[in-house]
Amino acid sequence: MSEELSIANWFVTYSGTAFEVIGTLAFAISGLLEAARKKLDIVGMAMVTFLAAFGGGTLRDVLLDRRPFFWVENEIWIWAVLVLSALALLFVRTSHLEPTRRATAWPDAIGLGIFTAGGTQIALQAGMPAIVAVIMGVITAVFGGVLRDVVVNEIPRAFVDHQPYSAIAFAGGWVVVLLSAIGASAFVSVVVGAVVITGLRFLAIIFSWRLPTWKL
Amino acid sequence: MSEELSIANWFVTYSGTAFEVIGTLAFAISGLLEAARKKLDIVGMAMVTFLAAFGGGTLRDVLLDRRPFFWVENEIWIWAVLVLSALALLFVRTSHLEPTRRATAWPDAIGLGIFTAGGTQIALQAGMPAIVAVIMGVITAVFGGVLRDVVVNEIPRAFVDHQPYSAIAFAGGWVVVLLSAIGASAFVSVVVGAVVITGLRFLAIIFSWRLPTWKL
Amino acid sequence: MSEELSIANWFVTYSGTAFEVIGTLAFAISGLLEAARKKLDIVGMAMVTFLAAFGGGTLRDVLLDRRPFFWVENEIWIWAVLVLSALALLFVRTSHLEPTRRATAWPDAIGLGIFTAGGTQIALQAGMPAIVAVIMGVITAVFGGVLRDVVVNEIPRAFVDHQPYSAIAFAGGWVVVLLSAIGASAFVSVVVGAVVITGLRFLAIIFSWRLPTWKL
């Protein structure tokens, strides 16, 4: 392998991991904020943070009957959630909640892209039909937040806020499916899918896009 | 095979499928109505509709460790849910909700019968003991509605409305178990079980049967 | 085997089973009380009681991909839940709820000990890393109560009451892991772990220990 190629490889591998870390942290922080808002104790906070970060991928793996789970293979992440929860208990104040939520919308968009695209690809490799693979991708990225909200007794934000979030994930899942169908490698499909989803989500935040509403 | 027999076979097969379609649509519509009542967006509506229609059978299959799920093998149903959700967003008005709910009580009773009886039979074939098979039947027919209600932050209707719904399913599951135990074919057990459950549920609606209540 | 040893064996085996029965009944009763408080009907009561008693172990087994479930192998427990629910409907009065809840805090502590220690050991034997095994132990003992609360539309008590409950389970799970790591038998690890957890929980009740709270 030429030196440039191995540098490119190194860059892609590590930036991929970096984006995964960014996305997972953003999802975990959404759990922390929800726990703080509800004044959960340290145990509740750790559990809601854990659900927000890993609930979606875990549900996908249960549905696809895949083992081991991400957090079983990467136990360091469990420790990260516990440390984050303890730090939050010490340092988070009410005045931090709303600014943090707004600030994490951007890394959260990265998580939406990378986990939808990755989840769709995993489901395709498990032999799922296209529409099922796209749904598995959406579940991977969105159901951590759904479980987070259900467990603290809120209607899932993803179901009621009329923002294009899961809808963008759904559209982007099809990019992964189509690229796979025309013979692109798993790697290219996931990267392009993730970039499309994250890009659309950035646009949705910047321009305050809204989903159509009921004319009840 | 004589011509009459093959006509009978044809009739039974297709009417079975027709009843399944009727039951699934009734369950899906219960999700749509709940989503409309809570003013969920299109994404939330599709997800709650999906949960209401397929959540029970999916939970049963996860518990029994069966794959593939019904909606993985019959992906056309996923499209049906998406189209239904889009149509509902366009055409459903507040004044439609209550009359639709009342009108769908009847096809819903067909779904209760066919999915309880079918779920019980599937669990028997998976080697479950009688009481477990009956519970799996009840889960198949009832837990879609339970998940639908939990996710939109309501106490499951099946747990609080004091109507004989799951109780009828539970009783009818035993019909399937008993028929199997005395050597009836899977087909006969399911058909008789489904007819008993749907018939009892019709009577419960007509005569407004109630479950005994707390004397707290 | 000497006579004393076989008597000791007999005693340990049966007292182990007795503690399991005590713990399971305490968990089931917590479900009954919650159902009574929410005035669920008989069906809802049976389901919430079942979730409270077996939800945690069932979730652990789904995550570890273990079958059969405890209640599939021991169907007598399903009948016990049904009979308990029917008896509760006949005999429980509003004035019983709070005293029963206080009285069951003690057998509940036994359940917390035995099911956390047992769940941790089961996960270790399934090859899980230490931290995952401890979390599986906590899930076994605590998530029945979490599911019980989520399904009746309450924020899980284990997440908000600022009492050391899951936190004690978490600490005690490490006792099981450490004993296993230094070569103790599964039996010794579970017994010591359970005694430590139940003992700490007794102390927490007696001295009204509290978890640190938010300084929001």
Dump pLDDT digits (tens) for A59-107. Answer: 999 999 999 999 999 999 999 999 999 898 888 888 888 888 888 999 9
In percent, how much of chain C has pLDDT > 90? 73
User: At residue C102, does pLDDT exceed 70?
Assistant: yes
- The answer to whether C160 contacts A40, with C-beta atoms less than 8 Å apart, is yes
Residue range C121-136: mean pLDDT, rounded: 96
Find, in chain B, the residue whose alpha carbon is nearest to that of A168.
B43
pLDDT-derived band of residue B8, with 50, 70 and 90 as boundaries?
low
Q: Of B45, B69, B153, which has the smallest distance from its Cβ to A155's Cβ? A: B153
Which among B61, B66, B214, B215 is the top mutation candidate for probing chain C, defined by the most C β-carbons within 10 Å of its own β-carbon?
A: B214
Q: What is the four-CA torsion angle of A60, A66, A71, A75, rounded to 10 degrees?
A: 180
Q: Name, in order, each residue with C-beta under 8 angstroms of A136's C-beta and a sequence gap of 6 or more.
A: A60, A63, A64, A119, A120, A122, A123, A128
Contacts C62 to B, Cβ<8 Å: 62-63
Q: What is the pLDDT of residue B57?
A: 96
Is residue B32 within 8 A of residue B45, CB to CB? The reply is yes
Q: Which of B131-135, B206-210, C178-182 has the lowest mean pLDDT?
A: B206-210
Residues of C in contact with A89 (CB under 8 A): 212, 214
* Segment 49-68 of chain A within 8 Å of chain C by CB: 58, 62, 65, 67
Contact C117, C134 (CB under 8 A): no
C-alpha span between C53 and B88 (Å, rounded): 40
pLDDT for position C13: 66
C208 CA to chain A: closest CA distance, Å?
Answer: 16
Cβ of residue C36 closer than 8 Å to a chain B Cβ: yes
Touching partners of C (3+ C-beta pairs < 8 Å) = A, B
Higher model confidence: residue C18 or residue C56?
A: C56
Kindly report, residue by residue over C64-92, the tens digit of the pLDDT. Answer: 999 999 999 999 999 999 999 989 888 88
Helix (H) or strand (E) holding A39: none
In which residue are the tokens 């707004």 written? A102
Residue carrying structure tokens 């690890």: C189
Partner residue opposite A214 with nearest CB, options B39, B43, B152: B39
B64 neighbors B126 (Cβ within 8 angstroms): yes
The pLDDT of residue B214 is 66
Domain ranges of chain C: 3-206
Shortest Cα distance, chain C CAs vs residue A140, angstroms: 16
What values do phi and psi take at A179, rounded to 5? -60, -40
Judged by a CB distance cut-off of 8 A, whether residue A43 touches chain C is yes
Mean pLDDT to the nearest integer, B190-211: 95
- Give residue-wise pLDDT tens across range C20-59: 899 999 999 999 999 989 989 888 999 999 999 999 999 9
Asked if B78's CB is within 8 angstroms of A132's CB, the reply is yes
DSSP state of C126: T
Contacts of C48 in chain B (CB under 8 A): 159
- What mean pLDDT do residues A2-7 have? 64
| pLDDT value, residue B159 | 92
Q: The tokens of A130 are what?
A: 């296209």
Check pLDDT > 60 for residue C2. Answer: no
What are B38-56's pLDDT values in tens digits? Answer: 989 888 999 999 999 999 9
Task: Identify which of B60, B21, B78 has the alpha carbon closest to the alpha carbon of residue B143.
Answer: B60
Q: In a mutagenesis test of the C interface, which of A34, A40, A42, A43 is the best target, namely the one with the most C β-carbons within 10 Å?
A: A43
Mean pLDDT of C163-171: 95
B123 burial (CB, 10 Å; 0-12 / 13-18 / 19+) is buried
pLDDT of residue B12: 63
What pLDDT, in 10s, does the model give residues B172-199? 999 999 999 999 999 999 999 999 999 9
Kindly state the tokens that stand for B122.
């599937």
Measured between alpha carbons, how far is A114 from A112 in angstroms, rounded to an integer?
6
Assess whether pLDDT exceeds 70 at residue A9: no
Q: Quick check: B39 contacting A, CB < 8 Å?
A: yes
Our CA-based measurement puts residue A111 at a distance from the nearest CA of chain B, in whole angstroms, of: 19
Contact between A189 and A116 (Cβ < 8 Å): no
Instruction: Check pLDDT > 60 for residue A1.
Output: no
pLDDT band at B7 (very low <50, low <70, confident <90, very high): low
CB-based contact (8 Å) between A95 and chain C? no
Mutate which of A34, A37, A41 to test chain C, going by most C C-beta atoms within 10 A? A41
Cis peptide before A99 (omega within 30 of 0): no
The sign of the CA dihedral A32, A36, A37, A39 is positive
Distance from CA of C160 to the nearest CA of B (A): 18
Average pLDDT over residues A14-42: 88
Spatial distance between the Cα atoms of A151 and A163, rounded to a whole number of angstroms: 22
| Tally of CA atoms within 13 A in the half-sphere of C10 that contains its CB | 7
At A98 the pLDDT is 86
Mean pLDDT of the region B62-88: 93
Q: What single string gives the DSSP state of each residue in A153-198?
A: T---HHHHS--SSHHHHHHHHHHHHHHHHTT--HHHHHHHHHHHHH
pLDDT at A195 over 70: yes
What six digits make up the tokens of A75? 């136990």
A162 touches chain B (CB under 8 A): yes
A contact test, residue of B32, B37, B38, B41 with most A CBs within 10 A: B41
